[in-house]
Structure 1
Amino acid sequence: MEHGDLFNLSSGFALKRVQTMNRKTLLIAIMIFLIPIAFAGDFHVSVESINDRIYKNESASFNVTVENHLDTEQTFKFSSDVLWDLMSNPLSDYFSGMVIPAQSSDSTILQLIPPNRISAGPKKLPIIVTMQSTGTTDSEDVTVYIKSTGLEMQDYLPFVITTMLVDPIKIDPRGKFTVKVNLKNTNILDLEEVTIDLTTNSGLIHKKRIVPLGPLEERTETFVITLSPVTDPRNDVLIATVSTGDIVFSPDKENIEIVSYSAFVDTPITQKEFLKTKTKVVILNDGNTQGSELYKIPTNWFRSLFTITEPKTKLLTEEGNDYLVWELVLEPSQKIEVSYTENFRSLFALSIILIVIVVLYFLTRSSVIIKKKAEVLEIQEGGISKIKITLNIKNRTKSKNENIRVIEKIPNIANLVKEDYLGTLKPTKVMTHDVKGTLLKWNIDLLEGFEERMITYKIKSKLSILGALRLSPAVIKFKSAKGRIFISHSNSSTLNI
């Protein structure tokens, strides 16, 4: 075997040995860590005060009871603060240790003697009990009060430090806010009745509470305060005054603010009738300060035409929507009544009237109509000389009409032009009068539904006509299918040159 192999082999054995030693060390450490846990419940210590208020040349006494929870007899040793002398009664319990049988308990009186140089006041000390077999300890803290030389306990003056926290300091009277008052008793007096008074400079708040406060105790009292929603806005000072008996301690103060708000609450009452809606709205300023508001009701330009308001309103257009608007200014708790009435009865009546008119029109209108058109054919010497007149007769119903007579009048300044009347009706009768002019008549025996007839004739003026010439309307008479006689007129026609 070579030297290198021997080195590797010896190194391997060394590494295994180190690993084995590390495992043992780790196991021992775990066991040491678990021993106090295992023995923590092996015994229990309780302490009761016999005399804990002493002068510095006296000793304090405490009754100490130890319960042995193990199944074997155990010895327990006592110790405390190294600056204090410790004795026991009997003495053997301190010097030799107190022996307690299995599953049993025993008590001893320990005396704690203060050092020579010690100040007056409360002193906290531990009483330590050690189980001798395992070294496990348990302790209880006690307080020893060192009295001042020449002064008894009742000569102490109470002193309580007061601090206050308000949340929030800007207070909305519609909600709640909290006040936390912290009390700290700075000496050993047991104060059975400590009075907390919460007040403000304005007298808005007055809360009172009586609590006990033990020696050196610190406690916090919480007040939840609710104000009236209509409390006036103001700046105020909240004061926490603490007292006991005739002694009043230094108060704590906090600046607070009651914020202002205005809240308009509306209560609408609607009454509906036929095509009429009346709405009455009672608006209340439920805030604590004067408020202004544009009170709006939705509408449109058409509905606003039929809306009556009291008081009068303005029409406002906002983001494409129309509103009827009242400008309101109300004091706290003030209310106002507004009303608006939408009345469509007049529109309904107007609609009925229009329908009746339309129905009557269609019932009474002439089923045959005539339209007159005139146009200038010739001009001589700068004036109108010859005119063509067209009469358009139309049956505008599907019913036929009989015995239709068309009557046309030519003014006496013109004469009818005689012609063959090709493509048009020839007058049935022509009557001439020197003053009234010429009267033309046409007879149409039957006019079918929606049938049209056209009559054309020409006239020639006796003299050239300068300016305007007005031709009177043509007249049509006919008998309807139901035997009713109708007379209808055409439009008049005016020529200008």
Structure 2
Amino acid sequence: MALLILGILPSSLAFTATLEPLQNRVDRNESALLDLAITNTGKVPDSYNIGMVDGLWEVSSQPVYAYQSEYGVDVAPGETVHTTLYLRPILQLPYGTYSIPFEIGAKQEKTLQSRSAIVSLRSADEVALVRAYQPTVQVDVQLPNRGLLDPREEAIIAIKMDNQNPLNLSALRIVVNSQLINYNLSTRLAPLEQRTEQFRVSFDALEAPRKDQLTVVLFRDDEVLKTVRQQYEIIAYSSLSREQQEESSLLGVVHHKTLTLRNDGNIARTETVALPASWFNRLFSGASSGHIVKDNQYVWSLELSPGQQVQLQVTTNYGLLVLMLVLAGAVIVLYYIYRSPLIAIKEASVDVHDERDVSEMKILLFIKNRSGRQLPNVRVLDKVPHIAELTDEVIVGTLRPVKMSRSSDATIVEWVVPTVEPYEERIISYKIRSKLSIIGMFNLPPAMLKFKHRGDKERVVLSNALKSTECASED
């Protein structure tokens, strides 16, 4: 009895089912052997029932509960389970070829798939004659690293064959398949020859970790000589690549810092990333969303799936700072351009002074030209309070007043300084005497400077005012 596989497209992608012959020639008194492989491609565990709609054949299974049982075959997500089916004709069927249909149903997904095996029934003499010359080949599959495969590396799979009969096997075909590996090659075996065939397999570097089964079938024409199954596993690995770039624009006013992260592993990865950010820089900086500030750093907590790439950026714009500095510089320049070239400081010292009585006081007026220009005809005016009078004492080295006039509350004294040279400081001093004993304190009003600078418009500058308590004593 010869078996061939006829595939019917599944009604759903929740699982796949394949039938492979294990014993392909039997007579009426023997059982044909089939291997049924069920792979759960869904996301939840499921149970699968196996049934046959043709009543001409007696079917049993190993394990025994797999066929026409309420239990069915349990398969976890991503796994493959194999079941051996035994077929024997119930009636004395004529020799010939029969198509035997099977149905495989998923309980959870409630989907159904059909698979058929074509059975060729022969006489006992014909089967015995064929088996007398039936080839026997031992096959061994060798995987690198004991079947633990790194998807980043190329895997070399070796298939060792040993022809144990004195038969010349010239038209052999090896079919290798799994969820990730599919390969076909042709070979030959001389009588009693041992031969090793190798092929290379490459995976997607980001292939997720999984366990899989590699099935190797050795065919002679359409006849299966040997089927070997080998478990292997795609291992998990973790790798993170970092690339940091910095660039500036607008003459360095805007600074960009970009950190690119990529999960080059095949499993998800949690990563904490930090970029320095001082408190000063944070005043002018912005960062990619999702960050927190900790220990003068921008900190992100990232969940990276396999192959995922993330860019984190910190942009520092000193434009506002530059603008503030420019404005401050402009204010300073304008201040120096338009400030008064003359300043006046008024000081006083007491000649006769006790804790309660002030009788005579010396007044000092400091006039300073802080510009680089000569200032002509500077008029200096100061007021002497009505409770005091200007003394006639001549102070050596100082200008004498050119004019004195009285107002309702003070005597106005005026001096004229012909020229004040650039950066020159002049001192005018005079003494006043109180007309009465003064108890407590009194005020000295500010002195006034009048001059012309950069045009005909007269400018006025005032000195500081004084209180008697701010006057120094002269013993």
Provide TM-score, normalisation by structure 2.
0.57
In the TM superposition, what is the alpha-carbon distance from 1:169 to its structure 2 partner? 5.3
User: Match for residue 15 of structure 2?
Assistant: none
Question: 1:274–1:481: structure 2 CA closer, same or farther, 3 Å change rule?
Answer: closer
Within 5 A, what are the aligned runs for 1:432-471? 432-433=406-407, 436-459=409-432, 462-463=436-437, 466=440, 471=444
In the TM superposition, what is the alpha-carbon distance from 1:349 to its structure 2 partner? 3.6
Name the SS of the counterpart of 1:259 in structure 2: coil
Structure 2: segments with no counterpart, 5+ residues: 1-127
User: Match for residue 423 of structure 1?
Assistant: 397
Name the SS of the counterpart of 2:200 in structure 1: strand
1:390 to 364, 387, 392: 364
CA contact (8 A) 2:381 2:412 kept: yes
In the TM superposition, what is the alpha-carbon distance from 1:371 to its structure 2 partner? 2.2
> Equivalents in 1 of 2:225, 2:359: separation in Å?
127
Provide TM-score, normalisation by structure 1.
0.55
Confirm whether residue 258 of structure 1 aligns to residue 232 of structure 2.
Answer: no
Name the SS of the counterpart of 2:143 in structure 1: strand
CA contact (8 A) 1:191 1:214 kept: yes
User: Match for residue 157 of structure 2?
Assistant: 179
Letter in 2 for 1:359: V
Measured against aligned partners, the alpha-carbon deviations of 1:162-201 in whole angstroms (never above 9, x if no partner) come to 041314855443443333333333443333355545455x
Question: 1:238–1:412: structure 2 CA closer, same or farther, 3 Å change rule?
Answer: farther
User: Match for residue 212 of structure 1?
Assistant: 188
Name the SS of the counterpart of 1:251 in structure 2: strand
In the TM superposition, what is the alpha-carbon distance from 1:330 to its structure 2 partner? 3.1
Within 5 A, what are the aligned runs for 1:236-251? 236-239=211-214, 241-245=216-220, 246-247=223-224, 249=226, 251=228
> Equivalents in 2 of 1:418, 1:450: separation in Å?
31
2:306 to 328, 332, 335: 332
CA contact (8 A) 1:162 1:250 kept: no
Within 5 A, what are the aligned runs for 1:249-398? 249=226, 251=228, 253-263=230-240, 277=254, 285=263, 287-293=265-271, 305-311=283-289, 326-334=300-308, 340-382=314-356, 387-398=361-372
Letter in 2 for 1:454: I
> Equivalents in 1 of 2:445, 2:264: separation in Å?
77
In the TM superposition, what is the alpha-carbon distance from 1:158 to its structure 2 partner? 0.6
Q: CA RMSD in A?
A: 4.3
Question: 1:197–1:384: structure 2 CA closer, same or farther, 3 Å change rule?
Answer: farther
CA contact (8 A) 1:432 1:439 kept: yes
In the TM superposition, what is the alpha-carbon distance from 1:383 to its structure 2 partner? 6.5
In the TM superposition, what is the alpha-carbon distance from 1:451 to its structure 2 partner? 1.9
CA contact (8 A) 2:278 2:297 kept: yes
Question: 1:229–1:407: structure 2 CA closer, same or farther, 3 Å change rule?
Answer: farther
User: Match for residue 45 of structure 2?
Assistant: none
> Equivalents in 1 of 2:184, 2:439: separation in Å?
115
User: Match for residue 409 of structure 1?
Assistant: 383
In the TM superposition, what is the alpha-carbon distance from 1:161 to its structure 2 partner? 3.8
> Equivalents in 2 of 1:151, 1:312: separation in Å?
77
CA contact (8 A) 2:174 2:219 kept: no
Letter in 1 for 2:233: I
CA contact (8 A) 1:430 1:440 kept: yes
> Equivalents in 1 of 2:227, 2:185: separation in Å?
17
CA contact (8 A) 1:390 1:456 kept: yes
Matched positions, count: 339
CA contact (8 A) 2:240 2:261 kept: no
CA contact (8 A) 2:136 2:225 kept: no
Structure scoring higher RCO (CA < 8 A, sep ≥ 6) equals 2
> Equivalents in 2 of 1:465, 1:191: separation in Å?
138
User: Match for residue 113 of structure 1?
Assistant: none
User: Match for residue 473 of structure 1?
Assistant: 446
Question: 1:285–1:439: structure 2 CA closer, same or farther, 3 Å change rule?
Answer: farther
User: Match for residue 142 of structure 2?
Assistant: 164
Measured against aligned partners, the alpha-carbon deviations of 1:61-82 in whole angstroms (never above 9, x if no partner) come to xxxxxxxxxxxxxxxxxxxxxx
Within 5 A, what are the aligned runs for 1:38-187? 154-155=132-133, 157-167=135-145, 170-187=148-165
> Equivalents in 2 of 1:417, 1:197: separation in Å?
129
CA contact (8 A) 1:311 1:339 kept: no
2:199 to 223, 228, 244: 223
CA contact (8 A) 1:179 1:224 kept: yes
CA contact (8 A) 2:236 2:267 kept: no
Name the SS of the counterpart of 2:324 in structure 1: helix
Q: Which has the higher helix share?
A: 1
Question: 1:280–1:366: structure 2 CA closer, same or farther, 3 Å change rule?
Answer: closer
> Equivalents in 2 of 1:380, 1:474: separation in Å?
26
Letter in 1 for 2:191: P
Question: 1:241–1:401: structure 2 CA closer, same or farther, 3 Å change rule?
Answer: same
In the TM superposition, what is the alpha-carbon distance from 1:402 to its structure 2 partner? 1.0
Question: 1:302–1:153: structure 2 CA closer, same or farther, 3 Å change rule?
Answer: same
Letter in 2 for 1:226: S
Name the SS of the counterpart of 2:367 in structure 1: strand
Structure 1: segments with no counterpart, 5+ residues: 1-149
